[in-house]
Amino acid sequence: MEDAVVFGATGFIGRWTILHLLEQGRTVTAVVRRADGGLHAWLGEHGVPATRLTVVEGDLTVPGLGLDAAVEGPAGVRDVFNAAGVYRFGMEREEARAVNVEGALNVLRWAAARPGLRRLVHVSGYRVGLDPRPRHPLPEAELAALYRDKGAYEGSKAEGDAAVRVAAARLGVPLTVVNPSSVIGHSLTGEAGQYLGLAGLVRDLWTGRLPALPGGARTFVPVVTVDEFARFMAAVPEHDPEPGGLHWVLDPATPELPDLIRLLADHLGVRAPRVRVPVALIRRLPSALTGADPETLGFLTEDRYDTGSADRVAASAGLRRPPVADALRRWADRLVADRFGAAPAVRPGGFHDVAGSRTYLAGDRTSPRLVLLHGLPLDGDSWHNLLDELDADSRHDVLDEPDGTPASRRFGALVADLPGLGRSSPAAATSPEWLAELLGPVRTRPVIVAHSAAAAPALRYAAAQPDRVAALVLVSPFFLQRRPSALTRLLAGPLLGRAGADRLAAPLLGAAPPPESARRAVASAAAGLRRPGAARRTASALRAAHSPAERAALRTLLGGPVPVHLVVGELDPLTGDPGPVPVTVVAGAGHHPHLTHPAAVAEIVRRVLLGHEIMTGPLPSP
């Protein structure tokens, strides 16, 4: 089989291109700057064996690319894919040119010297390759104007595009240029890898920092999913028989920008900006005032693009375009789950309509064995430590499948952010109504594990639907514990909104250094609390939870038909009488034992699951 060499192999586009080349049965050499093994691990996580992959070190800015002659292999190099580049805003001209212009030319010269070369596939960009008669080199005055107008990234991509096309014609290199629009996450999983440009706009929308939308009613920022684009890349050598092609790879059915933003705002449960600001006006205003990066404004046009030649290649390769609205929603789910690249999600979730709340939930919606409800001011990510413990602990193999699947995966766990808290939008419905709708599709009888304030909806749901719940595990049941002082409750609102992860960590987790996973949970909560209204809603939920009437009402529910198990930290003991309900005290823990002592809490949850093994089976058919 022919050899394919991929530059930029650790990048967003590069690694997906490699994945699809390997799927085609190609033998691939990946050129990376540091061979730390990350690519093999990533391919493994995506279920693609990397037996036909070789990883070599190289650098586009080094003469000869720093490549060993051995790269060539016995079969010789057939196809070269250049997906390397520096994609950043705010660079200096020379920093961008070194890779996007000189580096791209270095790849071209190296490819030109491969005797068996069939194709060089170069990734340009949908806004940069529009010139039908590219010129290179440009006189310095023109070059300076190009970089002044477009900025270093876009300027270098435009110069690089021209340089590569001119040099390929001169050297007789069989070149194909592919021009992707904004590359969004995978069409099925939403998995992303770039958080610039359009993703930055979605981040502003999500964090409430998009008071006005740049551009006009017809502004068009097309997208292409990374899998569609990478499959296209991998298909070029076989399905685009003639070199010399320039292909615009994007989805012409992408909604115009205001509609795209509205679609995502509805999906995420946030408000879309009603005001639009023309790009010409933004250009005249200081960026400190508008918050707009001048380098991104060039993408905000009403231009349309001819995808005809790309469509022919895709048709020949049997590639199908995924539905763009679904892909956009999945991408937005994943952007939020991964906190826009700040913290890759361990168990990525997404947004669903539950009782009028755009609810963020992860896991098994129909047959969970566990339902996990977080306390204040946390979100569903606070359960990851516990789930990791349940997954990792094989001591209780009586609960595990014969194939070794951990018990917690057998029935799955459903983790949801409560309405108005974490990532979920508020609902007019009460929390118990919301919980009833969340659990409506559930066909098993799960154990509900609720932390602190979430004990309230959990107890009320169990009281209303006792035959649908196997047991309740209430971790730090606030209504049986010391009330926070009135001052603490009063200050909670303003302080919560401004607290960073570090400032939140000490009061939540105590003085001892917390496990890394607990820090991640607190960082997720802190990021959520900075969103508009989140801290206020959390503080008011905190105040409502601690009213004496509410505490008394919840105590009466403890005697219901559903078995209840209480878990408290030694440092935050019960002050009220739980009656005959069993209580486990976690030594050394405070109010968040599932964060600071996850193994101990997992042990209790396992025991409860074991005790209710028969009860957690499927519900009888109605």
Ligand X SMILES: NC(=O)c1ccc[n+]([C@@H]2O[C@H](COP(=O)([O-])OP(=O)(O)OC[C@H]3O[C@@H](n4cnc5c(N)ncnc54)[C@H](OP(=O)(O)O)[C@@H]3O)[C@@H](O)[C@H]2O)c1
Nearer to ligand X, 12 or 147 (CB): 12
Task: Label residues 282-299 b or e (16+ Cβ within 10 Å = b).
Answer: beeeeeeebebeebbbbb
- Rank residues 324 and 522 by Cβ distance to ligand X and give the closer one: 324
Measured from the CB atom, the residue of 12 and 383 that comes closer to ligand X is: 12
| Cα distance between residue 266 and residue 591, in whole Å | 35
C-alpha dihedral sign at 285, 288, 289, 293: positive
Helices (H), 575-616: 593-596, 598-611
Q: Among residues 61 and 394, whose Cβ is nearest to ligand X?
A: 61
Cβ proximity to ligand X, 88 vs 395, nearer residue: 88
What does the DSSP assignment read for 366-423? SS-SEEEE--TT--GGGGHHHHHHHHH--TTGGGS-TT---HHHHS-EEEEPPTTSTT
The residue whose two tokens read 């599709």 is 441
Q: Put the strands of the sheet holding 119-123 in their side by side order.
A: 53-57, 27-32, 3-7, 77-82, 119-123, 175-180, 246-249
> Least distance to ligand X from the beta carbon of 195, Å?
10
Instruction: Considering the complex, state which of residue 175 and residue 496 has its C-beta at the smaller distance from ligand X.
Output: 175
Nearer to ligand X, 10 or 524 (CB): 10
The CB-of-224 to ligand X minimum distance in angstroms stands at 8
User: Per the structure block, which two tokens stand in for 528?
Assistant: 């959520």
| CB distance 595 to 382 below 8 Å | yes
Nearer of residues 195 and 437 to ligand X, judged by Cβ: 195
CA atoms lying within 13 Å on the CB side of residue 316: 15
Q: What one-letter code names the amino acid at 262?
A: R
Beta carbon of residue 26, minimum distance to ligand X (angstroms, whole number): 19
Q: How far is CA 408 from CA 414, 437, 446, 576, in A?
A: 10, 23, 11, 32
Q: How far is the CB of 17 from ligand X (least distance, A)?
A: 9
Is the Cβ of residue 151 or residue 180 nearer to ligand X in the bound state?
A: 180
* Cβ nearer to ligand X, comparing 85 with 363: 85
CB of 104 to ligand X, least distance (A): 8
CB of 622 to ligand X, least distance (A): 49
Could you tell me the CA-to-CA distances from 261 to 197, 219, 342 in Å, in that order?
Answer: 13, 11, 22
Closest distance between ligand X and the C-beta of residue 486, in Å? Answer: 51
Parallel, antiparallel or unpaired: strands 447-451 and 370-373: parallel
In whole angstroms, the minimum distance from the beta carbon of 584 to ligand X comes to 47
What's the min distance (Å) between Cβ of 47 and ligand X? 21
Helix, strand and coil in the chain, % to nearest 5 = 45, 15, 40
Q: How far apart, in Å, are the Cα atoms of 267 and each of 271, 280, 356?
A: 10, 30, 12
Phi, psi of 300 (to 5 degrees): -95, 80
Cβ–Cβ under 8 Å, residues 580 and 411: no
Query: What residues line the site for ligand X (CB under 6 A)?
Result: 8-14, 33, 59-61, 83-87, 99, 103, 123, 125, 157, 180, 182-183, 193-194
Beta strand extents in 413-569 (DSSP E only) = 413-416, 447-451, 471-475, 564-569
**Min. distance of Cβ 222 from ligand X in angstroms?**
11
325, burial (CB in 10 Å: exposed 0-12, middle 13-18, buried 19+): middle
